[in-house]
Amino acid sequence: MRTRLVYFFFFLVCFQARSQVNSEFVDYLVISELNKEHKTYLDQLTLDFGETDSVRYYKTKFDLLTNNYDSFQNEFNSCKLCWKDTSLINYSSIHLIRFSIERANKFWKADSTYGSFVSKNSILRKSYNLSLNPKLDDSFLPYELKFHFQEYKSAYNKKAWVAGLLSAAIPASGKLYIGRGNSFFGAFALNVVHGIILYEAINRKGIEHPYTIVSAGFFGVFYFSNIFGTIHDLKRVKNERRKHFLYEVADYQSADLYLYE
């Protein structure tokens, strides 16, 4: 009996009966922006208790808090508790998509591998799929996001060859087609001005004069760059609208979602 009692005290002293993570203290560290103390605390817990799932859960959150995405992904993949926390998964998706759409996609793939793929039902994930193929059903989108989706969809449906053809017919008109009204006037004026110079040079000096050839070269550069520039710009417009749409969805979904309660 005595020996058992001594054993009991022995274990009580050696493995102090502390709960692993004091979540209130962690919240306090987050609110006070004490990241170094926060890190030390989690490292100390790892030293004391080893890489337990609950410690890993808090480490994952910490990585997300400090935007340490590489470490975050590694921790998350090996943290069973994390994959069970739907709000953490949703919060992480929102956070990651703002950093990089590709990284968010990687995270969702990991969810389907390691987790129970809860993210597949989130609006953000569905919107991501929709952004890849706007012909899919968009009825899941709430009214507030429909407008942004339509904006993206209209850009997505625009054809590069139409934009190029329009710019070839009337310089810079392709810019209007792709929705870059602001840069239309500048590009149009530049082409007109060089056209005037070329016309004047041909009229006064003839087509074989070096000045005419130089003017024709300048005009050609501006004319063709206007066509190829418009085609290239369309890609940018599509990308921008896609990002804008997904960011709006992320904002919508982030309401009432916090990393720490």
Partner 1 sequence: MKSLIISLLICICTSSAFGQAGYEASMLELEQKIFSEENDSLRNELCLKKFNLSLMNFDARRSFFEMKRVNDNLISNISQKNNFLWNASLVSKLNGDFEYANIYFDQYLEATNDSNTNCLILGFLIKNENDTSILNAFERQIPQDSSLACLNCLNAVKGFKMKRKGAYVKVSYLFPGLGTMMTGDFYNGIGSILTVSGSGVGMYYLISNNMYYGSAIWGYLLFWRFYTGNVRLAKTKVNNLEQKKKALLADDCQQQIKALLKNNQIDFRLNK
Options 27-35, 85-93, 114-122, 139-147: segment touching partner 1 (CB under 8 A): 27-35
Options 36-44, 57-65, 124-132, 249-257: segment touching partner 1 (CB under 8 A): 36-44
260, 95 Cβ separation under 8 angstroms? no
Selected binder of partner 1 within 20, 44, 100, 121 (CB under 8 A)? 44
59 or 242, CB closer to partner 1? Answer: 59
Residue 129 is a binding residue for partner 1 (CB under 8 A): no
Options 67-75, 93-101, 113-121, 197-205: segment touching partner 1 (CB under 8 A): 197-205
Residue 4 is a binding residue for partner 1 (CB under 8 A): no
Residue 226 is a binding residue for partner 1 (CB under 8 A): no
Selected binder of partner 1 within 132, 136, 170, 196 (CB under 8 A)? 196
Q: What is the 3-class SS of the chain, one letter each residue?
A: CHHHHHHHHHHHHHCCCCCCCCHHHHHHHHHCCCHHHHHHHHHHHHHHHCCCHHHHHHHHHHHHHCCCHHHHHHHHHCCHHHHHCHHHHHHHHHHHHHHCHHHHHHHHHHHHHHCCCHHHHCHHHHHHHHHHCCCCCCCCCCHHHHHHHHHHHHHHCCCHHHHHHHHHHCCCHHHHHHCCHHHHHHHHHHHHHHHHHHHHHHHHHCCCCHHHHHHHHHHHHHHHHHHHHHHHHHHHHHHHHHHHHHHHHHHHHCCCCCCCC
Residue 18 is a binding residue for partner 1 (CB under 8 A): no
Residue 191 is a binding residue for partner 1 (CB under 8 A): no
Residue 20 is a binding residue for partner 1 (CB under 8 A): no
Selected binder of partner 1 within 23, 40, 78, 157 (CB under 8 A)? 40
Residue 8 is a binding residue for partner 1 (CB under 8 A): no
Q: Which chain residues interact with partner 1 by CB under 8 A?
A: 3, 6-7, 9-10, 13-14, 25, 28-29, 34, 36-37, 40-41, 44, 193, 196-197, 200-201, 204-205, 215
